[in-house]
């Protein structure tokens, strides 16, 4: 498997929409490498036949009835937006 390297960290940053200037990228690469190397001790744990545990879920299905309740006031919804026109959120060109 690909070890943590600068190229991979760039790729992760791109997927995460983060940009790392050269120096930060070098430090981050070193730190992530140490962390991931440490995590490799998990490889020593025998997990053959163990079901992954993603939820400590309540017993029984948790569903809500199909009932409409009032929505949020639009003014309140838009109040925190950095750019909006009173009706919609604004972004730079996002559609073709």
The C-alpha atoms of residue 38 and residue 33 are separated, in whole angstroms, by 8
2 lies in the site for other proteins, by CB under 8 A = yes
Place of tokens 């991979």: 8
The C-alpha atoms of residue 4 and residue 30 are separated, in whole angstroms, by 8
In the complex, minimum distance from the CB of residue 22 to other proteins, in angstroms, rounded to a whole number: 14
The C-alpha atoms of residue 8 and residue 41 are separated, in whole angstroms, by 21
Q: Looking at residues 35 to 94 of the shown chain, list those that interact with other proteins (rule: CB under 8 A).
A: 35-36, 38-39, 41-43, 45, 47, 50-58, 60-69, 71-74, 76-83, 85, 87-94
Per CB under 8 A, the list member of 16, 22, 23, 26 interacting with other proteins is 16
């Amino acid at each position: 498997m690909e070890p943590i390297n600068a190229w991979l960290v760039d790729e992760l940053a791109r997927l995460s929409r983060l940009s790392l200037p050269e120096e930060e990228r070098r430090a981050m690469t070193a730190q992530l490498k140490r962390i991931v190397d440490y995590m490799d001790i998990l490889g020593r744990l025998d997990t053959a036949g163990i079901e992954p545990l993603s939820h400590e879920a309540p017993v029984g299905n948790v569903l809500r009835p199909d009932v409409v309740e009032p929505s949020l006031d639009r003014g309140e919804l838009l109040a925190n937006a950095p750019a909006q026109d009173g009706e919609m959120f604004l972004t730079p060109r996002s559609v073709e």
